[in-house]
Amino acid sequence: MIIRRPPDIASSEITPEQVYVDRRSFIRLAAAGAAGAAMTPGSLSALGRPSRGQQVRFEDMESELGEPVNSYEEITTYNNFYEFGTGKSDPARNSGPFKPKPWTVTVEGHVAKPGEYHLEDFLAPYKLEDRVYRMRCVEAWSVVVPWRGFPLADLVKRVEPTGSAKFLELTTVVRPDEMVGQRYRVLEWPYLEGLRIDEATNPLALLVTGVYGRDLPNQNGAPLRLIVPWKYGFKGVKSIVKIRFVEEMPRNTWWAMNAREYGFFANVNPEVSHPRWSQAHERRLGELRRRETLMFNGYGEQVAHMYAGMDLHKWF
């Protein structure tokens, strides 16, 4: 599938929450060349180029399934980021003291070009793009978000992994003086996440630096986080300081903490219930009605081939 990258677009001012709630229609922006009839769960949304003098309204955009984005307020006040607390409102309330600048990212392991990069140098080779992704969050919630970032595949290509690199391990920063949640043994710190190399090079996997046309807020994983939209919510490792290319499957944090409930792959599968709740339905943040959960969160066309022949009841 050819995925055309949208150009950089100036951000717009955010519509107030009440205006967002009351609006009656949304502008559907689809990937270039895709007709409305061809809009499928597997197709990628892309942002169109604005005409001269036209402002792009992020709040008017839709996911690849034609779903309106959640408001900026919703996206930035309901978060899973245990480093700032276990409650969904804790990150927004507690992340103020966190300092995302200056920032360095270390790349190491089985690569030809390891190194430690200042964030500005790390991002310099990449053209940032906006993508509207629907995200499946923990406990059967979903959200539609306009992210800004670049494909993780671009970084993988840049550092030239060797034949021994089968997986990526990504690590969150440890700063208990700034991250109040790290003062408690809620999880083992630092937080670790992992991907298979083919997952990391799938065009959907995104290293994210912004949301709604703005830099990432602290509570959303500033200044650099991962988005893997066909995965369950806990794959979104935040405030990344290290990316390591390894040969063995890494023990990501939730799998290590509770292997009965959380596996390595974390694919959204409505046919496999979590031990404490069903995954067959979800609710959109800000809504009361229930929706049917989509296999691979609706991105099966782009990702199902990576799991062909795997028992997804076992490898969850």
Q: pLDDT per residue over 159-212, tens digit each?
A: 999 999 999 999 999 999 999 999 999 999 999 999 999 999 999 999 999 999
Asked whether residue 80 carries a pLDDT value surpassing 80, the answer given is: yes
Confidence at residue 138, expressed as pLDDT on a 0 to 100 scale = 72
Q: How would DSSP label each residue in 80-100?
A: --GGG-SSTTHHHHH-TT---
Confidence at residue 72, expressed as pLDDT on a 0 to 100 scale = 96
Structure confidence by residue, pLDDT tens digits, 285-300: 999 899 999 999 999 9
User: Does this model's pTM top 0.85?
Assistant: no
The stretch 29-36 carries a mean pLDDT of: 28
Q: Which two tokens stand for residue 203?
A: 């065009």
Instruction: For residues 285 and 264, give the distance between their C-alpha atoms in angstroms, rounded to a whole number.
Output: 26
Q: Are 183 and 159 in contact (CB under 8 A)?
A: no
Confidence at residue 60, expressed as pLDDT on a 0 to 100 scale = 86
The stretch 207-218 carries a mean pLDDT of: 97
Q: Which two tokens stand for residue 280?
A: 């067959």
Structure confidence by residue, pLDDT tens digits, 130-150: 999 999 887 788 999 999 999
Q: Are 80 and 138 in contact (CB under 8 A)?
A: yes
State percent of the chain over pLDDT 70. Answer: 82
Confidence at residue 276, expressed as pLDDT on a 0 to 100 scale = 84
| Closest to 253 (Cα-Cα) out of 147, 155, 172, 140 | 172
Confidence at residue 47, expressed as pLDDT on a 0 to 100 scale = 32
How does the average pLDDT of the chain come out, rounded?
84
φ, ψ (nearest 5 deg) of residue 138: -65, 160
- All domains in the chain, ordered by first residue: 17-307 (3.90.420.10)
Confidence at residue 86, expressed as pLDDT on a 0 to 100 scale = 96
Tell me which range, 20-34, 214-228, 251-265, is most confidently predicted by mean pLDDT.
214-228
